[in-house]
A and B are shown apart, each in its own frame.
Chain A
Amino acid sequence: SQQGEEDPQALSIQEGENATMNCSYKTSINNLQWYRQNSGRGLVHLILIRSNEREKHSGRLRVTLDTSKKSSSLLITASRAADTASYFCATGAGNMLTFGGGTRLMVKP
């Protein structure tokens, strides 16, 4: 079963705009991770935020975590056409790393 649910399921923006994707989950977690998947490829890890952290940055990526609301957001600033991909949140709890359904992002040049 899926632990995380991403919102929106699909997002289309122009190059240069910011993209925000949200993830909600149901149970207690150790950490939350974001991954990216290009069409036909495996997933690539982007960033990990621990349950005691509230915000984390990596380059053009900004992740927030609100454990009281059981939600996280991924912000990609100044998007590029190469950012077009599916983005997944994954929640880590115990031995399980469980993925949500993903957000399909399209960045138009």
Chain B
Amino acid sequence: DAGVIQSPRHEVTEMGQEVTLRCKPISGHNSLFWYRQTMMRGLELLIYFNNNVPIDDSGMPEDRFSAKMPNASFSTLKIQPSEPRDSAVYFCASSGGTGTWAEAFFGQGTRLTVV
């Protein structure tokens, strides 16, 4: 398996633009997490899906952020409109267990820069 695949690897966009980050989890995994990493705030859990259903989105910072998982092999994180403070590395991770009982496999991340 190629592991968790995220695209794009790097994204530079202007403030106000819509940004869509994509994630392909490991086949057969039923849990998917989106994290954001910054120097100031470290790794923050944004949202957690189990069997394609959003279970906990309490970490989503505000309404500008939305996430979907239309099927077991694809998820998106959208920011509309983007702001400079959204600049961070966004990670997607998947797990074969339920919730937090199994190890999480991380993608390489998308480095987002909003100018």
Q: How large is the interface on B (under 10, 10 to 19, 20 to 34, 35 or more residues)?
A: 20 to 34
Q: What is the CB-to-nearest-CB distance from A107 to chain B, in angstroms, rounded to a whole number? A: 22
Q: Is B60 an interface residue (CB 8 A)?
A: no
Q: Is the CB of A92 within 8 A of B100?
A: yes
Q: Which residues from B are CB-within-8-Å of A2?
A: 42-43
Q: Are A92 and B99 CB-contacts (below 8 A) given A42-B108, A44-B106, A99-B42?
A: yes
Q: Is the CB of A33 within 8 A of B109?
A: no
> Taking CB as reference atom, which chain A residue is nearest B6?
A42
Q: Is A98 an interface residue (CB 8 A)?
A: yes
Q: Is the CB of B101 within 8 A of A99?
A: no
Q: Is the CB of A43 within 8 A of B106?
A: yes
Stretch at the interface among B11-19, B48-56, B63-71, B72-80: B48-56
Q: Chain A: interface secondary structure? A: strand
Q: Which residues from B are CB-within-8-Å of A102?
A: 42-43
Q: What is the CB-to-nearest-CB distance from A29 to chain B, in angstroms, rounded to a whole number? A: 9
Q: Hey, what's the 0/1 contact readout for A9-46 against B, CB within 8 Å counting as 1? A: 00000000000000000000011010100000111110
Q: Which residues from B are CB-within-8-Å of A31?
A: 100-101
Q: Measured between alpha carbons, how far is A95 from B48 in the docked complex, in Å?
A: 8
Q: Measured between alpha carbons, how far is A82 from B65 in the docked complex, in Å?
A: 37
Q: Is the CB of A42 within 8 A of B107?
A: yes
Q: Are A95 and B106 CB-contacts (below 8 A) given A30-B100, A31-B100, A43-B91?
A: no
Q: How many A-B residue pairs have CB under 8 A?
A: 63
Q: Measured between alpha carbons, how far is A100 from B33 in the docked complex, in Å?
A: 16
Q: Is the CB of B108 within 8 A of A95?
A: no
Q: Is the CB of B42 within 8 A of A48?
A: no
- Which one of B42, B50, B101, B105 contacts A92 once the chains associate, using CB atoms below 8 Å? B101
Q: Hey, what's the 0/1 contact readout for B20-56 against A, CB within 8 Å counting as 1? A: 0000000000000101000000110100101000011
Q: Measured between alpha carbons, how far is A35 from B42 in the docked complex, in Å?
A: 14
Q: Which residues from B are CB-within-8-Å of A45?
A: 103-105
Interface residues of B (CB under 8 A from A): 4, 33, 35, 42-43, 45, 48, 50, 55-56, 91, 93, 99-109
